[in-house]
């Protein structure tokens, strides 16, 4: 009598479970790397935007205060940003700030007082978010823009 060749059900189930565990570990690792990449892109875009707005101020004697001026200045990689309320420019007579929300959900800012991570407002208004960076809507010369929703992306 010849012995049957092949795998038992138990052996097949063990292999399937091991493959599932490896796949889950890979997905978690990929999501972590992806979030870091989005955060880095957003932070770099903010630094570039900040520098371009400073350059605009030197050339024109003021910060951008119209949609066309801002569109020509802001450049962003749209794939790294959160779906809503994701790129804000705020200014007043004494300074300006840029703020953006990454796809990972983290919010970053760049302003004259520094840069870093910040909590996004729960109301989702540019005025509240600008106020959290020290640029209150009651400040002289206040102007704020949601860059993506109001101007589209300048990529």
Spell out the domain ranges in the chain. 33-151
Q: Is 91 helix (H, G, I), strand (E, B) or coil?
A: strand
> What is the average per-residue pLDDT within 129-135?
83
Torsion of CA 95, 65, 42, 108, to 10 degrees: 40
pLDDT, one tens digit per residue, over 79-92 is 788 776 578 888 88
Can you tell me the distance from the alpha carbon of 130 to that of 144, in angstroms, rounded to the nearest whole number?
A: 8
Predicted model pTM:
0.74
d(CA 97, CA 78): 19
Q: Beta-carbon neighbour count of residue 96 at 10 Å?
A: 26
DSSP state of 119: P
User: On the CB side of 57, how many CA atoms lie within 13 Å of its CA?
Assistant: 14
pLDDT tens profile 15-59: 999 999 999 998 887 877 888 998 998 899 889 889 999 999 999
Cα separation, 100 vs 40, in Å, equals 12
């Amino acid at each position: 009598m010849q012995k049957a060749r092949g795998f038992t059900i138990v052996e097949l189930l063990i292999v399937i479970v091991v493959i599932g565990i490896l796949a889950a570990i890979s997905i978690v690792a990929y999501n972590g790397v992806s979030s870091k990449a989005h955060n880095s892109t957003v932070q770099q875009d903010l630094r570039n935007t900040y520098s371009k707005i400073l350059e605009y101020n030197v050339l024109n004697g003021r910060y951008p205060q119209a949609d066309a001026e801002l569109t020509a200045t802001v450049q962003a990689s749209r794939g790294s940003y959160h779906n809503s309320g994701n790129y804000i420019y705020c200014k007043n007579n004494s300074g300006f700030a840029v703020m953006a929300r990454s796809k990972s959900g983290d919010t970053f800012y760049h302003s004259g007082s520094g840069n870093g991570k910040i909590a996004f407002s729960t109301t989702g208004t540019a005025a509240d978010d600008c106020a959290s960076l020290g640029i209150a809507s009651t400040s002289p010369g206040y102007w704020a823009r949601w860059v993506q929703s109001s101007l589209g992306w300048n990529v």
